[in-house]
Amino acid sequence: MFSHGSESLIKQAREIQEPELQKFYCRLGKLLVGKELGHETMDSLQRLHLILSATKCTRTLPVELHKRLLSLLSSPVEQLQVLSSAVLRETLPLSGQELNYSQENVQLNSHSAALLLSQAGSRADLSSLCAQLLRGLDSRQPEGPTHSLTHTLPVLNAVLTHSPESLNDDNVTLLSKKLVDWLRYASIIQGGGASAGGFFTGPRSRQPVPTAELDGTVSGDFFTVLCVGQGFTEDQWMNVYSFSMLHHWLLTYHTAPSGNTFTDTDDRSEVDGSVVSMVSATSSSSRLLPPKERLREKAFQYCLRLIEQSDRKALKRTDTELQKACLVEAVCILDCVCVEDTSLVYRTFPYVKPLFGRLSSDLTFARVLLPIAQFYLNHGEMAAVDCESLWKLVFGRFPAELFNDPFLAHELLRFLRLNLESLVLRVPQYPRSFPNLLKFLAWDSPAVVDDFVDLLPSLVTVETAVELLHTLLDLPCLSATLVLQLRSTSSPISEPGGRGLLSLDAFRSPSFRGLFLYLLRPEAGSGDTIDRLSTLHEFLAESADWPRVVQCSQTVPVLLHIFFNTVITVADPKLLAHLILVMLERSSLLLNLPRYMKEIHRVFSCHLLRLCKLHPSLVVDQSHVLLEFAGTTASVYSKEEIYTHVVWALGEYLSVSCDSRCSVTLITSCFETLEAVLFEITSSTPPPGACCPAPRVITTLISALAKLASRSHDLIPRVSLFLSKLRTVTRAGSVAWCADEEDLVAIVTRGEELWSLLRTPGVAQSVLTPPPHVTTPQWHRDTNLSMSLQLRTLTSLTHTQ
């Protein structure tokens, strides 16, 4: 498909030499002078475009050639218009010859408008372009070609995107009036000379044929994009273009008046005021409304008609898809006009509510239900409409059954992101539905991880934090389970040849199904995790190389960081203690993916330390758990990172200054636990399969022991005993537990430093267990130290510069 030929063409175009290029310009210039502009001219122009677009830097053409191309923009041959516009868009405008944006009496065609748009340099340019286009709309020549003005609205829409001020109020009014005409009063007769007669009727008996609906019945109301005919009149085309830009127009020029903000406090006043406006809003005297309001009313009617038309069964599949798109647009526009004029809400709900009822059971309309959800969220409270069933769909069925639809995932997550504050306030299901929402992430992590980075903080609540942590750690398992779920429904019960997956069999077997169903649960609250998690991990072991599972596992560390960063802002020490427990437990209970465990351990270590630093008393509080962990020698080899940090935390924070409950007994038992481990790892070779413990583990253990000894001085002799033993052993040469000689030297040096420190217990205590005012200096508060600071401040204030 993408051939070697294409690559070489691009290379040629890029590497064309300057003299050859100049020759080419000359040849092209000559061709363009001739009367007949045939295939050779087109090919040359195309080649010129390829040359210009292949290089990064923009070239300038010779002046003559440039001028010739400009004149081609108004050539009667469309190919030449297209090619010259394309070429000129790739070049720099001639200096001093900027495009004339305010040419009089010139009908801009679509391609020259494209050039003007792309080279617009300022707001003034765009304003002149708009003015020119609007003049073209007004002074319409009746014999012009059918599509000559249909590009006007798209060009205007493009200008609006970047510069809404380019249209002054008069122009806005003018266009509003035109839009009303095209949207509401387009012809309902089929254009293009269609006739109702059959083969034998002559031209005289040609009767005007009305347009039809998508299901074939005759149209009974005004023309919309969902009406068909054999041919179309000009204003029917403009109807299509007008509706296509209507939403954007309303968003640009019909912003909500300042009084209509959507906070809860406003809702009460709206309820009373709207009783009166309901009567006036249903009046049919819309002709008396000013143009903007009239457009709003007509847009409203158009959307209601579209909703009614979408209920018809279209004869063609592409039209069914269009009906869905129209429903989405209609609901969005209704939302927009209701935000602007809240009295319309009462007229809208009688249409939107049945629409919801009709579509809620059909998952193929899921993407249509999202704008309806937005509408309910914006206006539901005002109209006192019950949104329960809607949220059940959005947080229940959609993630559970449509997690593999990338477009739905994108739109649903975007909906959540945009309405985060309202959802957190008004929809209690939202924070509890994280097991379901995470299915989007588990299925297609790369596409949606960005969205979850934004959403995860709002899902962290005190009640569900522990469960959320477990769920995040088991995301790769969820990923594997979703794959199994889909495979289970699509593949036969028993595969011929018996090459079935162990995990698939487990998924289908009734005795283990419960484990998988726990992962697939829709809501939080039914337990933090399951007992037989290790069994589940065994079954899923073969999924370790499934790409989806691997991709998912790569996003978990990031999410864990966000989780911990958020949870420390909302948690109390009790919850934090529970989280430490979970971290220690789960450090060995993870799905066995190649780098997954290591990454998770790293995240845990980082946050364990942060938690202990924030709440040092946690260490004393959870000392029994931490000691149990630290006393397991196997952890040194399998969970080195976490082990090191736990030991460090114990050494640092197990002291009376951090928590008054810290007793001598506690310090002694901690010392003994760590001492035992240190003895074990420094007196034997590592177990088979494990490599030597990193020097950092050993030095951390030694430091921790020294710190504890400095707090309870009768432990000091035991430390010195160990350190002298260490010195003796290492003097003999290499040791089984340390591969590198330099590392060994570093360990021994550290040991000696600590030993010399411990010889003066008082000094050791203040160095190894510094009082708080040393570790958190606030010099300006100390009466002795602040004097110099105060003097310096006064001096700089009083001495004028």
Partner 1 sequence: MVRCFLIHSVCPLSELPAGDSRLLYCRLFAPGDGLLTGQLRERSPAERSLLRGEKAAVVARQVRSAVSLSREASGGRPPGEALPGDEALALQDASSGVVRLRAGDPFSEEMSALWLGVQSLGFTLVCEPHENLLLAEGTLRTLTRHCLEHLHMLGPGSEVLLRSNRIDALLSRLLPHGQLLFLNHRFAQSLEKDVAAYMAK
Q: Which of residues 663-692 bind partner 1 (CB under 8 A)?
A: none
Question: Which residue, 327, 391, 325, 405, is CA-closest to 363?
Answer: 405
Question: Does the protein bind partner 1 through residue 6 (CB under 8 A)?
Answer: yes
Question: Does the protein bind partner 1 through residue 46 (CB under 8 A)?
Answer: yes
Query: What tokens appear for 589 in the block?
Result: 């209970």
Q: Which of 16, 278, 304, 322 binds partner 1 (CB under 8 A)?
A: 322
Are the beta carbons of 237 and 227 closer than 8 angstroms? Answer: no
Q: Which amino acid is at 430?
A: Y
Residue with Cβ nearer partner 1 (123 or 661): 123
Residue with Cβ nearer partner 1 (309 or 464): 309
Segment 558 to 577, residues that bind partner 1, using CB under 8 A: none
| Smallest separation (angstroms) from partner 1 to the CB of 11 | 8
Question: Which residue, 83, 113, 88, is CA-closest to 101?
Answer: 113
| Smallest separation (angstroms) from partner 1 to the CB of 657 | 46
Question: Does the protein bind partner 1 through residue 328 (CB under 8 A)?
Answer: yes
| Smallest separation (angstroms) from partner 1 to the CB of 339 | 13
Segment 460 to 489, residues that bind partner 1, using CB under 8 A: none
Q: Which of 31, 158, 337, 583 binds partner 1 (CB under 8 A)?
A: 158
SS3 content of the chain, % helix, strand, coil (to 5): 70, 0, 30
Residue with Cβ nearer partner 1 (144 or 428): 144
Q: Which of 66, 178, 247, 305 binds partner 1 (CB under 8 A)?
A: 247
Question: Does the protein bind partner 1 through residue 120 (CB under 8 A)?
Answer: yes
Q: Report d(CA 663, CA 711) in Å as an integer.
A: 10
Where are the alpha helices (H) located in 429-474, listed in sequence order? Answer: 429-432, 434-443, 445-459, 465-473
Q: Three-state SS across 597-657?
A: HHHHHHHHHHHHHHHHHHCCHHHHHCHHHHHHHHCCCHHHHHCHHHHHHHHHHHHHHCCCC
Beta-carbon neighbour count of residue 486 at 10 Å?
13
Segment 159 to 188, residues that bind partner 1, using CB under 8 A: 159, 161-163
Question: Does the protein bind partner 1 through residue 416 (CB under 8 A)?
Answer: no
**Strand ranges in 171-222 using DSSP code E only, listed in sequence order:** none
Q: Which stretch binds partner 1 (CB under 8 A): 64-72, 326-334, 770-778, 780-788?
A: 326-334
Residue with Cβ nearer partner 1 (110 or 682): 110
Question: Does the protein bind partner 1 through residue 1 (CB under 8 A)?
Answer: yes
Question: Does the protein bind partner 1 through residue 7 (CB under 8 A)?
Answer: yes
Question: Does the protein bind partner 1 through residue 291 (CB under 8 A)?
Answer: no
Question: Does the protein bind partner 1 through residue 444 (CB under 8 A)?
Answer: yes
Segment 124 to 143, residues that bind partner 1, using CB under 8 A: 126
| Residues belonging to the chain | 801
Question: Does the protein bind partner 1 through residue 623 (CB under 8 A)?
Answer: no
- Strand, coil or helix: 543: helix
Question: Does the protein bind partner 1 through residue 793 (CB under 8 A)?
Answer: no
Cα dist from 343 to 106, 287, 346, 356, 401, whole Å = 45, 18, 6, 21, 37
Q: Which long-range contacts (CB under 8 A, 24 or more apart) does 600-603 make?
A: 600/473, 600/556, 600/557, 600/560, 601/639, 601/640, 601/641, 601/642, 602/557, 602/641, 603/557, 603/560, 603/561, 603/564
Are the beta carbons of 658 and 616 closer than 8 angstroms? Answer: yes
Q: Which of 31, 69, 83, 674 binds partner 1 (CB under 8 A)?
A: 83
Q: Which of 2, 105, 220, 781 binds partner 1 (CB under 8 A)?
A: 2
Q: Which stretch binds partner 1 (CB under 8 A): 118-126, 177-185, 460-468, 469-477?
A: 118-126
Cα dist from 465 to 26, 460, 558, whole Å = 73, 6, 16
Question: Does the protein bind partner 1 through residue 403 (CB under 8 A)?
Answer: no
Question: Does the protein bind partner 1 through residue 364 (CB under 8 A)?
Answer: no
Question: Does the protein bind partner 1 through residue 225 (CB under 8 A)?
Answer: yes
Q: Which amino acid is at 406?
A: P
Question: Does the protein bind partner 1 through residue 411 (CB under 8 A)?
Answer: yes
Are the beta carbons of 511 and 445 closer than 8 angstroms? Answer: no
Segment 698 to 757, residues that bind partner 1, using CB under 8 A: none
Residue with Cβ nearer partner 1 (151 or 537): 151
Q: Which of 24, 25, 68, 93 binds partner 1 (CB under 8 A)?
A: 93
- Strand, coil or helix: 290: coil
Question: Does the protein bind partner 1 through residue 28 (CB under 8 A)?
Answer: no
Residue with Cβ nearer partner 1 (299 or 515): 299
Q: Which of 44, 74, 107, 150 binds partner 1 (CB under 8 A)?
A: 150
Residue with Cβ nearer partner 1 (78 or 753): 78
Backbone angles phi, psi at 633, to 5 degrees: -60, -35
Question: Does the protein bind partner 1 through residue 233 (CB under 8 A)?
Answer: no
Residue with Cβ nearer partner 1 (191 or 557): 191
Question: Does the protein bind partner 1 through residue 410 (CB under 8 A)?
Answer: yes
| Smallest separation (angstroms) from partner 1 to the CB of 515 | 24
Q: Which stretch binds partner 1 (CB under 8 A): 41-49, 257-265, 584-592, 756-764?
A: 41-49
Q: Which stretch binds partner 1 (CB under 8 A): 444-452, 618-626, 710-718, 790-798?
A: 444-452
Rg (Cα) of the chain, in Å, rounded? 37
Q: Report d(CA 313, CA 215) in Å as an integer.
A: 6
Q: Which of 248, 313, 661, 759 binds partner 1 (CB under 8 A)?
A: 248
Question: Does the protein bind partner 1 through residue 610 (CB under 8 A)?
Answer: no
Cβ neighbours for 669, distance < 8 A, ≥ 6 positions apart: 627
Question: Which residue, 488, 377, 478, is CA-closest to 436?
Answer: 478
Q: CA dihedral defined by 740, 745, 751, 756, rounded to 10 degrees?
A: 180
Residue with Cβ nearer partner 1 (157 or 633): 157
Residue with Cβ nearer partner 1 (286 or 554): 554
Cβ neighbours for 653, distance < 8 A, ≥ 6 positions apart: 612, 616, 617, 618, 619, 620, 659
Question: Which residue, 412, 550, 418, 429, is CA-closest to 480?
Answer: 550
Q: Which of 69, 73, 113, 133 binds partner 1 (CB under 8 A)?
A: 113
Segment 631 to 660, residues that bind partner 1, using CB under 8 A: none
**Strand ranges in 45-109 using DSSP code E only, listed in sequence order:** none
Q: Which stretch binds partner 1 (CB under 8 A): 52-60, 261-269, 608-616, 652-660?
A: 52-60
Cα dist from 787 to 780, 781, 792, 793, whole Å = 8, 10, 9, 10
Cβ neighbours for 539, distance < 8 A, ≥ 6 positions apart: 502, 503, 506, 507, 512, 515
Q: Which stretch binds partner 1 (CB under 8 A): 507-515, 546-554, 557-565, 593-601?
A: 546-554
Residue whose tokens read 């949220």: 391
Are the beta carbons of 702 and 748 closer than 8 angstroms? Answer: no
Q: Which stretch binds partner 1 (CB under 8 A): 466-474, 543-551, 693-701, 730-738?
A: 543-551
Question: Does the protein bind partner 1 through residue 257 (CB under 8 A)?
Answer: no
Q: Which of 79, 173, 286, 488 binds partner 1 (CB under 8 A)?
A: 79
Q: Which of 181, 308, 319, 743 binds partner 1 (CB under 8 A)?
A: 319
Q: Which of 182, 243, 643, 755 binds partner 1 (CB under 8 A)?
A: 243
Q: Which of 41, 85, 219, 566 binds partner 1 (CB under 8 A)?
A: 85
Residue with Cβ nearer partner 1 (310 or 703): 310
